[in-house]
Chain A
């Protein structure tokens, strides 16, 4: 019940396309859903996050869509660029704690 399931495992998109990464969870006690971006040889860095009381959040070219009833959330990257090529992790935090539960990750490649 603590798992966060992420898909796809890898994704290749042409420059300018809109990659979409999906995550699903079971634990209704999760109340904070961040996305992390990780480049090779670096640690994960917070990209954008959402709480379950809103259905969408945008920050620049990055958008999180959240479906509370389906217990699913997704990351969309608008006008994707080769520099967006990285591994993306969704995560969830248990209410009342700061224990990040990460998804398995998606390796995203944006071709020029």
Chain B
């Protein structure tokens, strides 16, 4: 069974530029999560989707961050404009349903210069 796929794996941009991350969850998984992982820290939830619906986006900085999950499968997380403090690893995870085990992708490491 293929795992959670994320791309790109690495991204280097200058501050104020936009950036987008893509996630393909495990086939059949209805729940999708985006996490932020700062260096030396545990992941922190940004947003959770149940199918196409964002059911928990309370931790998403909505002034510059946006996310979508069209057709309830793939998801995109966008930052516009990026700031220096956004440098981190952005992890995507999926689970068959809410409350079930989450499977994490390898993450996208973002560096903002």
Contacts and interface: CB of A to CB of B under 8 A. Distances in A.
A42 B91 CA distance: 10
B79 interface: no
Contacts of A104: 40-42
Nearest to B100: A98
B45 interface: yes
A91 B93 CA distance: 15
Interface of A: 6, 9, 41-46, 89, 91, 97-100, 102-105
> Per DSSP, are chain B's interface residues mostly helix, strand or loop, or mixed?
loop
B91 A98 contact: no
A97 B55 CA distance: 11
Given A43-B4, A98-B95, A105 B42 contact: yes
Given A43-B105, A43-B106, A46-B101, A98 B31 contact: yes
7 contacts: A43-B4, A43-B104, A43-B105, A43-B107, A98-B102, A103-B42, A105-B40
B53 interface: no
A6 B42 CA distance: 10
A46 B93 CA distance: 12
Contacts of B106: 41-43
Q: Which one of A98, A100, A105 has the greatest number of beta carbons of chain B within 10 Å?
A: A98
